[in-house]
Amino acid sequence: MRKGENLNSNETGTDNTAPEREVASDLFRRGVIVSPFLLVICLSFWGLGGLACGAIALGIVLANFLAGAWVIEWAVRISPQLLMGAVLGGFVIRMGVITGVVLPIRNSDWFDIVPFAAVLIFLHLGLLIWEMRYVSATLSYPGLKPRAKRQK
Amino acid sequence: MLSLIASTISILAAAVTEGEGLKAIGAGLGYGLAAIGPGVGIGIVVGAAIDAMTRQPESAGTARTTMFLGIAFTEALALIGFVVFILLLP
């Protein structure tokens, strides 16, 4: 990088690629894949109320990933210096939104904290650990690509 | 955001008048304390990622990927604190 050159130049690959969006899309896709199993478990153990709580927690986790990735992508496109403020501000706003979504419904008859908490925490951590396997492999072997299936 | 703060204050005020004030204060303190750790952690993660992107702009994609995952893992602590807050809130 030459002196005085913008960090957002094409050489840095920061404005043409959005790796966090790809990671968040992967997390969203995997969350959608496992969601039927989680919702069936919630329905079978806690009934329709548990199903609703599980669905809310699922929506919170997936929306949280997408919102986090969008904030980073938006901030990096403007300036890396904005990144710190945007990420910390985004964190506070997302926590506020999650609190605002759950506080009004927490005293409802159908609301059950167990399926909500279980889906919220285990889905969040589970999806991240699942994604970490692929990301760590990509970082270790950058040139590794999936092979195309052979035609029989 | 203001309506959220107002509703939280009204909930806490109602809890205090019903004699469960300490529980509500404990829940609020717990959530606040649980959010401090992830806040510091996210600051460290993003600071290190900016440092890496500035030093090696060609590996900015790798730094951003690792940063996003680090932020998401750190946020899990805040979500656990949020669940404890909901559990403790009267």
The answer for A 27-86 residues in CB contact with B (under 8 A) is 64-65, 68-69, 72, 76, 80-81, 83-84
- Please report how the helices B60-88 and A19-78 are oriented relative to each other, as an axis angle in degrees rounded to 10: 100
**In this predicted structure, what is the pLDDT of residue A34?**
92
Asked if pLDDT for residue A63 goes beyond 90, the answer is yes
Residues of chain B with pLDDT under 50: none
Q: Which of A69, A99, A125 has the CB atom closest to B76's CB atom?
A: A125
The minimum CA-CA distance between B16 and chain A, rounded to whole Å, is 17
Q: Chain A within 8 Å of B69 (Cβ-Cβ)?
A: yes
Q: Chain A within 8 Å of B14 (Cβ-Cβ)?
A: no
Domain residue spans in chain A? 19-132
Q: Chain A within 8 Å of B2 (Cβ-Cβ)?
A: no
Residue A47, both tokens: 């009934």
Mean pLDDT of A46-74: 91
Determine whether the interchain pair B8/A14 forms a contact, defined as Cβ–Cβ distance below 8 Å. Answer: no
Number of H helices, E strands in chain A: 3, 0
Distant-in-sequence contacts of A24-28, Cβ < 8 A, 24+ apart? A24/A65, A24/A66, A24/A68, A24/A69, A24/A70, A24/B68, A26/A131, A26/A134, A27/A62, A27/A65, A27/A127, A27/A128, A27/A131, A28/A62, A28/A65, A28/A66
A·B CB contacts under 8 A: 126
Determine whether the interchain pair B11/A83 forms a contact, defined as Cβ–Cβ distance below 8 Å. Answer: no
Q: What is the set of domains in chain B, with CATH numbers? A: 24-88 (1.20.20.10)
Asked if pLDDT for residue A14 goes beyond 60, the answer is no
Determine whether the interchain pair B57/A131 forms a contact, defined as Cβ–Cβ distance below 8 Å. Answer: no
Asked if pLDDT for residue A35 goes beyond 50, the answer is yes
Average pLDDT of chain A is 83
Separation of alpha carbons B36 and B78, rounded Å = 8
**In this predicted structure, what is the pLDDT of residue A148?**
67
Whether ipTM > 0.90 holds is: no
Comparing A83-87, A135-139, B36-40, B75-79, the range with the smallest average pLDDT is A135-139
**In this predicted structure, what is the pLDDT of residue A137?**
76
User: pLDDT tier at A121 (50, 70, 90 boundaries)?
Assistant: very high
Q: Model-level pTM?
A: 0.78
Determine whether the interchain pair B4/A99 forms a contact, defined as Cβ–Cβ distance below 8 Å. Answer: yes
Mean pLDDT of A129-151: 74
The minimum CA-CA distance between A123 and chain B, rounded to whole Å, is 10
